[in-house]
Structure 1
Amino acid sequence: MKLPPLKTLPVFETVARLSSFSRAAEALNISQSAVSHQIRQLEDYLGEPLFLRTGRQIRLTEEGNQYFEQISSALSQIERASEQLQGNEDTQLRLAVYSSFAVSWLIPRLPRLQRLHPQLDLDLEMLSELPRMSDRMGDCFIAINPKQRGFSSELLYSERMFPVCSRQYWQQMVDDLGQAGLLDEGPPEKLNTGWIQRYTLLSATSIFEKKNEDWRRWLAVEGETVHGTTRVQHFSHMIMAHEAARHHQGIALSNDYMFDPEDPILVRLPCHILNTGDEFHFAYKTSRRNEAAIRLLKQWLIQEAIRSGLRGEG
């Protein structure tokens, strides 16, 4: 077995993770010159530069980044295997998750997780887009449609979208539609899709990464299109459109993890739903499937998804 100088690998991993020779020296409790020596030794062995140095700034080369992804994963596996053998398995996890899912669904449920599993130490990292999952980003992920070699996943939620607005705004709509002769007395059991465009639509670009695309797809389910006269207020993120709806500014598209049926301000309109095709999964490295912390978190997330109605029993 031909291996590089083994003591250079933790040094490389620390420098790459911290993007600093001085901070790596402090973290490893060795001198900065010793760090530089170990990195030069590893680069000489590999025959490739691992870092680009510009003044005091350093960053990984393309080869260094590829090497870091593999080395950090291998070092983590060695650490976990040793802890398991010693009976000191770590229950600290970094969970990378989309901000809207974390804020609206996960964070309010964390006290229950802490009561059930006080030994689990969970750190949340925010995802802004579908990631290339790696140990560098997190130990596990809640991601949309994750498909990556070496990872396993469990379905938590198949997304469906529906219109919501404030109860005040809904009453104004009912009164307006009644005065226009479109409604009999009181709220309708089902709202005509075409009537929606009489009011301000709150659109979130982040859902389908294109202006009006969320409403275009929702309307298309019943053969409608966005009219040129329809007032559409655009937001970069779904959370912002949702908040605007809470402040009586129009109608937003929401989903099951963002909308609480018992919300005292928001109401779901009696309309059809749009199945977006996005599936939220709990994903983790297959090689880590038997770790106690991964198993605990996976089991709890599935139970909570079922309990809250995001996922069926099956």
Structure 2
Amino acid sequence: MRKRVPLNAIRAFEATARNQSVAKAADELCVTPTAVSHQIRQLEEFLQVRLFIRKNSRIELTTEARNNVHQIGRALDLINEAIAALEGSDYDERRRLNVAASTSVASFFLMPRLYDFTLRAPDIDLNIRTFLSRKEAEEQEMDIRILNWQSQMECQVEPLVEEEVVPVCAPAVAARFGNDPREILKNAPLLHVDRANDGLDSTYPDWARYLAEYGISRSDLSHGARFNQAGTSIEAACAGVGVILGRSLLIEDALQKGRLVRVSEPYPIRSPYFLQSPWKSTNKESIQRFKDWILEKVRSNGLVHAI
């Protein structure tokens, strides 16, 4: 006889562990954060095991929870598949492809193009997962990851694109300084993105490195609005708050629509992106179809430089 388990509580735990956030789990499950917290406490009482360590506003999985969360996720996937089969769906005729990308790359690079993929591959259901850190990206079980670092995981790694980093601002900001690149770089407010310290390439430029490269000196390099995600910094730049070091994968649409303009030359070192996938997978055909599609999109894109 199977032990009766609280499935709703298990779903709340798995969603919180995967998102590393009670609030994000609540959004995914369409409930309140309070309800998610209650379900987790219920599961902890049921198991007599602590699942999370709460540190101020952050939560971390305990060792016991970390060792089992992936198996729980797979079990929930199996339940979903079984329910789909009972509903008489065409699940067996379709394929699910799990793709991970940073929040910014998913929003600004993938999303504008995904409709085209759904037209070309109507038999594949995409499952897009976003991450904010290297640790979060590599802990997820994915068919494809889009990364801007060389992972040490045992996976197939293929070059995707090289990304330019170039100063951009709203047209009104450029006009305020006479559309003069040096005047803009010397006097316009600077916007900053605080990148997670995940061992990424130390040559990735910040304002100090960029301005030094082009011989421009400023005493206020540490001033200006700061953001923890590139997406919000792009919106701030479009709104005229200041100048950002724009990443070509993310600013393409804003440049095409005239919401942003280039201020000066790009940084001389480009940042590479890679496609990472398992060496062995039962989903190999779908993985290859997605790779072929995204590489074609990269090659046909004038602002993104294929490796």
Q: TM-score, normalised by structure 1?
A: 0.64
CA distance in 2, matches of 1:98, 1:225: 32
| Superposition deviation, residue 19 in structure 1 | 4.4
Spell out the pairing of 1:153-302 with structure 2 (5 A cutoff). Answer: 153-174=157-178, 187=179, 191-192=181-182, 196-206=185-195, 214-228=206-220, 231-260=223-252, 261-275=255-269, 278-288=271-281, 291-302=284-295
Structure 1 residue 245, shift from structure 2 partner: 1.1
Question: Residues 1-314 of structure 1 correspond to what in structure 2 (within 5 A)?
Answer: 19=13, 54-56=44-46, 58=49, 59=51, 62=63, 65-66=66-67, 91-131=95-135, 136-174=140-178, 187=179, 191-192=181-182, 196-206=185-195, 214-228=206-220, 231-260=223-252, 261-275=255-269, 278-288=271-281, 291-309=284-302, 310-312=304-306
1:254 is displaced (CA, Å) by 0.5
Query: 2:136 and 2:102 mapped to 1: Cα distance?
Result: 14
RMSD: 3.9
Cα distance in 2 for residues equivalent to 1:17 and 1:156: 35
Post-superposition, which runs of at least 4 consecutive aligned residues in structure 1 deviate over 6 A? 15-18, 70-73, 207-210
**C-alpha contact (below 8 Å) 2:102/2:132 kept by paired residues:** yes
3-state SS of 1:258 partner: helix
Structure 1 unaligned residues grouped into runs of 5+: 1-7, 21-52, 77-87, 175-186
Cα distance, 1:122 vs structure 2: 0.3
Equivalent residues of 1:150, 1:287 under 8 A apart: no
Cα deviation for residue 65 of structure 1 reads 4.0
The 3 A distance-change label for structure 1 pair 150 and 246 is same
Matched letter for residue 284 of structure 1 = S
The CA distance in 1 between the partners of 2:266 and 2:275, in whole Å, is: 28
Tell me how far apart the structure 2 counterparts of residues 229 and 70 of structure 1 sit (CA, whole Å): 47
1:79 maps to which residue?
none
Paired-residue identity, %? 21
SS of equivalent to 1:228: coil
Q: CA deviation at 1:146?
A: 3.5
**Aligned residue for 2:24?**
none
- TM-score (ref. length: structure 2): 0.65
> Considering only CA atoms, is the larger Rg found in Structure 1 or Structure 2?
1
Deviation string 1:130-167 (CA, Å, 9 cap, x unpaired) is 13666854332112213233211222222321111111
**How many residue pairs align between the two structures?**
246
Superposed displacement of residue 269, structure 1: 1.2
* Whole-angstrom CA distance in 2 between matches of 1:147 and 1:160: 21
Q: 1:18 to 1:195 in 2, by over 3 A?
A: closer
Instruction: Give CA deviations for 1:183-208 in whole Å, capped at 9, x if unaligned.
Output: xxxx55xx33x751211111111277
Amino acid at match of 2:195: S
SS in 2 for 1:286: coil
